[in-house]
């Protein structure tokens, strides 16, 4: 379910963000110079910092959307709200910087983000904390070194998620040289992972199990309200059951054909997701007034979306339609009606 699928314009700021973030998944086998202040080391630190900033920003907005709209999501889970990562998921050139900056080791989950208001933040967890065990079960550090891989982290996350699914989970957490015990009490939230993908396309999509947003599009969003607009649109596809995940045959199978085909073919699904996504944004406390200006700005920056595309209305048409939805939301608020799309 693609919100946008056009190449980013050559704006210096956006190009710089993309160039920094793209390096995060490059599997370079060439070691950096051993010089303490080498250009390669400085470049790696800057790339990691840029990617981390985008990851944390996406995690904060995604958490607010997920918690506020749990009652509308078909898939719900008990969540700590955090974003976790591991040393081995990083490329060989960025891994030393990630290990040094975050204190990561192998496949052990480290806290990349503990969004404000999340259960993780409420118990004092913060970026740089390392999870060693949960409910007395040690998490696997795995082998040191090796090619970039998410598999070990994925196995650990399944153990963590299973513990949270039973309610309060007790973690042994390392911070620097200290280790302490922390009890995390998860809350209900939408059961979809959100993933930031290094890419120079202004693109976001949903596959029935996850939401994806490119580094280019996350960087294009001028503020958290605009980022919530983008993620809310993709979450709306899940709320509307436009897609479901199939373990056999892959992701993104269309499940709700009547909704998908409503109002004139595939474009009907996108119009529905625009409308419902703005409600999800408003329910999470973001400003729905951002929608129309965002689409006008996007249309001015990208000539392709000024015109209708297959399955998508023009940027101008989307701005006008979303302005109507904004007025609808404000009218409900004015009389104390619940914000249900």
E-strand stretches of the chain: 5-7, 76-79, 83-85, 110-113, 130-134, 137-138, 169-175, 178-184, 187-190, 193-197, 201-206, 210-214, 243-246, 250-254
pLDDT of 243 reads 75
> pLDDT tens for residues 79-90?
999 999 999 999
Residue with token string 């806290």 = 111
The whole-chain average pLDDT of the chain stands at: 84
CA angle 162, 166, 169 (to 5 degrees): 80
Q: What percent of the chain has pLDDT over 70?
A: 80
At how many degrees (to 10) do helices 267-283 and 291-301 cross? 130
- Better-scored residue on pLDDT, 188 or 251: 188
How far is residue 189's CA from residue 71's CA, in Å, rounded to a whole number? 8
Listed in sequence order, the residues at least 6 apart from 99 whose beta carbon sits closer than 8 Å to its beta carbon are 87, 105
- Cβ atoms < 10 Å from Cβ of 34: 8
pLDDT of 23 reads 35
Query: SS3 for 161-181, per residue?
Result: HHHHHCCCEEEEEEECCEEEE
> pLDDT tens for residues 287-310?
999 999 999 999 988 777 877 776
How far is residue 297's CA from residue 275's CA, in Å, rounded to a whole number? 19
Q: What share of the chain is helix, strand, coil (3-state, %, to 5)?
A: 45, 20, 35
For 204-231, what is the mean pLDDT? 95
Residue with token string 């009907």 = 268
DSSP for 58-80 reads HHHHHHHHHHHTGGG-SSEEEE-
Global pTM value: 0.84
Say whether pLDDT at 186 is over 90: yes
How far is residue 242's CA from residue 237's CA, in Å, rounded to a whole number? 5
- Better-scored residue on pLDDT, 199 or 124: 124
Sign of CA dihedral 126, 277, 50, 222: negative
For 1-19, what is the mean pLDDT? 38
Q: Which helix (H) or strand (E) holds 136?
A: none
- Cβ atoms < 10 Å from Cβ of 187: 17
How far is residue 5's CA from residue 270's CA, in Å, rounded to a whole number? 13
For 201-214, what is the mean pLDDT? 92
What does DSSP say about strands 193-197 and 210-214: parallel, antiparallel, or unpaired?
parallel
pLDDT of 312 reads 80
Say whether pLDDT at 64 is over 50: yes
Say whether pLDDT at 13 is over 60: no
Between the CA of residue 328 and those of 224, 268, 292, 324, what are the distances in Å? 22, 19, 14, 6
Residue with token string 């996850």 = 210
Between the CA of residue 286 and those of 84, 225, 226, 230, 290, what are the distances in Å? 25, 5, 9, 12, 9
For 271-282, what is the mean pLDDT? 96
> pLDDT tens for residues 252-268?
444 445 554 544 444 58
Q: With CA atoms as reference, report the closest residue to 77 among 126, 119, 132.
A: 119
**111 with 84: CB under 8 angstroms?**
yes
**171 with 156: CB under 8 angstroms?**
no
**224 with 285: CB under 8 angstroms?**
no
């Amino acid at each position: 379910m693609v919100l946008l699928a056009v190449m980013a314009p050559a704006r210096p700021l956006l190009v710089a963000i993309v160039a920094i973030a793209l390096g995060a998944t490059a599997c370079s086998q060439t070691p950096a110079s051993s010089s303490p202040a080498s250009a390669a080391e400085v470049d790696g630190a800057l790339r990691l910092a840029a990617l981390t900033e985008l990851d944390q920003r996406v995690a904060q907005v995604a958490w607010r959307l997920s918690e506020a709209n749990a009652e509308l999501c078909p898939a719900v889970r008990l969540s700590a709200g955090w974003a976790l990562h591991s040393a081995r998921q990083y490329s060989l050139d960025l891994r030393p910087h990630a290990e040094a900056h975050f204190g990561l080791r192998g496949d052990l989950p480290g806290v990349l983000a503990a969004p404000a208001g999340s259960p993780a933040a409420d118990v004092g967890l913060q970026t740089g904390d390392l999870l060693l065990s949960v409910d007395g079960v040690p998490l696997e550090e795995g082998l040191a070194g090796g090619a970039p891989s998410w598999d070990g982290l994925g196995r650990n996350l399944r153990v963590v998620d299973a513990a949270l699914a039973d309610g309060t989970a007790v973690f042994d957490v390392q911070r620097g040289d200290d280790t302490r015990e922390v009890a995390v009490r998860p809350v209900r939230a939408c059961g979809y992972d959100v993933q930031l993908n290094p890419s120079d396309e202004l693109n976001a999509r949903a596959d029935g199990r996850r939401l994806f947003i490119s580094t280019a599009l996350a960087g294009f969003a001028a503020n958290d309200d605009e980022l919530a607009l983008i993620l809310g649109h993709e979450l709306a596809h899940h709320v509307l059951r436009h897609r479901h995940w199939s373990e056999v045959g892959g992701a993104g199978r269309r499940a709700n054909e009547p909704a998908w085909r409503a109002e004139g073919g595939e474009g009907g699904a996108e119009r529905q997701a625009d409308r419902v996504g703005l409600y999800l944004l408003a329910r999470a406390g973001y400003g729905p007034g951002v929608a129309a200006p965002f689409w006008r700005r996007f249309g001015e920056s990208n000539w392709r979306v000024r015109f209708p595309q297959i399955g998508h209305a023009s940027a101008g048409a989307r701005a006008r339609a979303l302005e109507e939805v904004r007025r609808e939301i404000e009218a409900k608020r004015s009389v104390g009606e619940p914000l249900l799309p």
